[in-house]
Amino acid sequence: MLTLGMQLENDFEYSFKFMKAKGNFNKLWQMKSIARQSLKEWLMVADMSPKMSEICANACSELIENCIKYSKNNSITAVSIKAKGENVVVETINTAEKVQKDTIIESIDKLNAASDPKHLFAESLLNPVEGKSQLGLMKILMETKGTIELIQEPDEEVVRMKLVMKAE
């Protein structure tokens, strides 16, 4: 057992920050794939099954992708992944235009109200709305069987998303 002022045992935490600046979109896009692979490997070291490591890494990649696409320039995004007990919790915090945040709120409300996310996913594929499909969020919920919520922040442009899934 490793002790650094806290008990770790089988728990796991992985976090990082990045800044979206004008001109670095392509580099960030490449880095999300590297972060995804690294996270998958770290989760397997933390005794998570290869299948669950893959699912979690894919979900994180989708959330990071959204942060890269929708964050305002010259803003910092924070990503945190924690595995504790039976749960894996992923949180992202970024700054986006209010209209983007409103779209995310609408999408999460729609997802949480849906009795069948697969039906909602199929419907969104058949009837796409430019910039509002949120297929990535739907895919995350279908694959992880988790819950996703938007945590209210005082600043109306701060988007704080929390995904909770079972570590099977």
CATH code (residue 34) = 3.30.565.10
The total of structural domains in the chain comes to 1
- Token duo for residue 73: 């320039």
d(CA 10, CA 72): 36
- Token duo for residue 142: 């279908």
CA dihedral 54, 56, 61, 64 (to 10 degrees): -170
d(CA 110, CA 18): 29
**Residue 119, in any domain of the structure:** no
What is the model's pLDDT at position 58?
92
What is the model's pLDDT at position 5?
40
**Residue 114, in any domain of the structure:** no
d(CA 105, CA 138): 13
d(CA 12, CA 87): 11
Give the tens place of pLDDT for each residue, 71-119. 999 999 999 998 877 888 999 999 999 888 888 888 888 888 888 877 7
Range of the domain at 36: 12-97+147-166
**Residue 90, in any domain of the structure:** yes
What is the model's pLDDT at position 163?
94
pTM: 0.82
What is the model's pLDDT at position 19?
94
Average pLDDT, the chain: 84
